[in-house]
Structure 1
């Protein structure tokens, strides 16, 4: 309402009940099943000890001398497996404390290590990620979550390798100057690993998510009779593969971890409740974007961006990055960009798969500026201030993803590889 009142482009009450509510409710209607399934699955993986079991197994195999890499890989695997970012943060943090203390690595590097695994390539770049962000472009661009597999994989590797190198070099320099873990009141948490599920059993639901996703997209979604069956209902929905995969993973998890789960119904209820805040927060941001889209100023900015005398993919990167930076949210920025610019980008003749991947990587850059809610939560959980930890987070989640995005855009423009 405030934006509408300031700009004077439309009545404030209409802005609230019209474009804001229309876009907000539409977003919730489209993506609530994914948020619900992801939240329940994350709750099961967290409370059953499965997430900790996987994390501990990775850290144990790599050893304390690879503490940073262990934290990054454990976080990456869980996030890429569909576990909620915030569940991963809470699951990996205690193990990170133990590893960093044992290796005497400055704790200020821990938030960046977790952010690298959770907030970057597993969420935006790697094809097949079941994170809801990777499903958002599917209905606008008629793509699937495996869009631009080569470019996405290359971008993901750049982010991972450069990020780990940055942390390793930085921590070694700090230790050479005599900086150790630091004076933090962190007691090493003792886990009863005997009560946790076997790590190989724990990873099965994650494997199932990828298998079911692949089957639905590559078999059912390409079956003419299956497609025809849903034509009268508006056609296939790009969110279905992830939703179905999460449903299978939830059922399998409840069976595999029944010894660790004392009250399945209570766990399902808590998981469902935990889905409400994230989806409403994101939907409200996207709804705000609906109001922004209706203003003359936004139309002017959109026209200026689209009129830039640069290749189209750079316009995709610039517009999505700006939206994500303003909202402090990758999903909010992506939602606004898709709602307003998906059709113009397609009309340019750009490859939909490349738009899909470029948009997400762009959204995963400026989204994690200091005011980002996920960054604030991560630093709070780790007990690190912005002054201590944000520089490394900024390099790993803003600078390196932007560099990787520019690289794959240039690569695509030169070679046409997707």
Structure 2
């Protein structure tokens, strides 16, 4: 009965989340259903397991949600994201339209700008470029997914994405874990994704397809759609409803001022991770008032938080005149972080209840028995949970909350570098999360005024297939050569 309850709870969570119900309600309900079938005490599971683990996730990662959302909103309202996108369009657009859209998305998201901020800025630019080049607009979502939701989210060393931050407390790693393997994985994703998009473009030209007709008002409708909002906030770290608040600049930021904060994020993250934090005397962290923890458990989150804070200060300093309503902009950014953070925390609470049930040992033993060793079983676990929840961050945290200590023990026993574990876990979570019910996919299609029938196959090819190829390569190289 316990295993049945686990499956029923998970099934209800997936079913109703797909229908647009709030995860804030669904996750505790599904957790209690699983506990009920297992004959476990309901109130104890609610307050002592679900809530404590959800609160623990917020305690660890809310600073990154908060600072990332504020930074994204400042970049949006100052016109910096628009300026970066326009720069890429000017430099590459006439000859390499698809590459311009992909690199514009990659540049802003690797620099720390929230995904949905990038969506609402890059889609209009992509429409203009694709229309001028007579490339079918049905390829726009795939081009944007390739640039914003693949290698810059999970593989490129130092990316400040929440997905790259989640494994750090579990494995004691930094955002630059397994940098060489991350770069190889990024090149595989980018190279195969661009190959597919150019192949699709060539086939469309041979068929005389052309751009097609735009869906008028799609962006405005998507921004106001509550169903899109519920799915979006579960999938990523920014509440798209807050994009309508604050006040955008009437003139775009100069390109140097626009790109400088993106460079600051990467540079400060690198210096904090590899130079400053390792040299600090942080013996005080062992004290009970600081959680009796260690530098390895907090260094990754600290480095990303400081990098985002430095980028926020840089953005304000360089774009002061283009932020006419600074308080409202920062308020909107702060508010945009709350619903996504609590949504993912609720998924974490659900996973904690499930992992505490006696029946979960069956699932754990099955995962650990998968042939191929710990790297393969970790990749399978993160893939499955990210696919079921439609959230890379939610699925990754559930997997590591339940199995993280076991994988650390396995890595220690088998000599696997924890940086390699980190990179495999993140790439694995960023693969099958891009299923049809994924909030980012639903939101992007709505913003583009397209349907799954129009564009989802190409999204699968550039988002799932390329990531799976990169994941296989990382596991193979890591198993043969170790982490580098």
On whether the aligned pair clears a TM of 0.5, the verdict is yes
The aligned runs of 1:114-153 (5 Å cut-off) are 114-153=144-183
- Greater CA deviation, 157-166 or 308-317? 308-317
**1:97–1:186: 8 Å Cα contact kept in structure 2?**
no
Match of 1:83 in 2: 113
Aligned-partner Cα distance in 2 for 1:345–1:327? 22
Once the 2 structures are TM-superposed, how far is the Cα of residue 417 of structure 1 from its aligned partner? 4.3
**1:4–1:12: 8 Å Cα contact kept in structure 2?**
no
Aligned-partner Cα distance in 2 for 1:20–1:158? 39
Once the 2 structures are TM-superposed, how far is the Cα of residue 6 of structure 1 from its aligned partner? 5.4
Match of 1:368 in 2: 434
SS of the residue corresponding to residue 220 of structure 1 reads helix
Can you list the C-alpha shifts for 1:336-391, whole angstroms capped at 9, x where unaligned? 11111111112112210001000000000111100111110111011110110111
Aligned-partner Cα distance in 1 for 2:281–2:197? 48
Match of 1:228 in 2: 283
Q: Does 1:246 align with 2:305?
A: no
SS of the residue corresponding to residue 308 of structure 1 reads coil
Change in CA separation of 1:255 and 1:299 when aligned onto 2, cut-off 3 Å: same
Change in CA separation of 1:401 and 1:9 when aligned onto 2, cut-off 3 Å: farther
Q: Does 1:357 align with 2:412?
A: no
Match of 2:451 in 1: 385
Aligned-partner Cα distance in 1 for 2:436–2:53? 27
SS of the residue corresponding to residue 353 of structure 2 reads helix
SS of the residue corresponding to residue 43 of structure 1 reads helix
Once the 2 structures are TM-superposed, how far is the Cα of residue 8 of structure 1 from its aligned partner? 2.2
Match of 1:113 in 2: 143
SS of the residue corresponding to residue 105 of structure 1 reads coil
SS of the residue corresponding to residue 175 of structure 2 reads coil
**2:417–2:482: 8 Å Cα contact kept in structure 1?**
no
Once the 2 structures are TM-superposed, how far is the Cα of residue 162 of structure 1 from its aligned partner? 0.4
**1:4–1:15: 8 Å Cα contact kept in structure 2?**
no
**TM-score, normalization: structure 2?**
0.83
Match of 1:211 in 2: 267
SS of the residue corresponding to residue 195 of structure 1 reads coil
Aligned-partner Cα distance in 2 for 1:105–1:295? 52
Once the 2 structures are TM-superposed, how far is the Cα of residue 159 of structure 1 from its aligned partner? 0.3
Match of 2:350 in 1: 288
Match of 2:46 in 1: 16
Once the 2 structures are TM-superposed, how far is the Cα of residue 229 of structure 1 from its aligned partner? 4.7
SS of the residue corresponding to residue 203 of structure 1 reads helix
SS of the residue corresponding to residue 437 of structure 2 reads coil
**2:215–2:449: 8 Å Cα contact kept in structure 1?**
no
Please tell me the root mean square deviation across aligned C-alpha atoms, in Å.
1.9
Q: Does 1:344 align with 2:392?
A: no
Q: Gaps (5+ residues) in structure 2?
A: 1-28, 220-247
Q: Gaps (5+ residues) in structure 1?
A: none
Aligned-partner Cα distance in 1 for 2:332–2:250? 25
- Greater CA deviation, 375-384 or 176-185? 176-185
Aligned-partner Cα distance in 2 for 1:345–1:5? 25
Aligned-partner Cα distance in 1 for 2:324–2:57? 34
Q: Does 1:40 align with 2:70?
A: yes
Aligned-partner Cα distance in 1 for 2:371–2:187? 30
Once the 2 structures are TM-superposed, how far is the Cα of residue 412 of structure 1 from its aligned partner? 1.6
SS of the residue corresponding to residue 431 of structure 2 reads helix
**TM-score, normalization: structure 1?**
0.95
Can you list the C-alpha shifts for 1:103-140, whole angstroms capped at 9, x where unaligned? 01100000111111111110000110011211111111
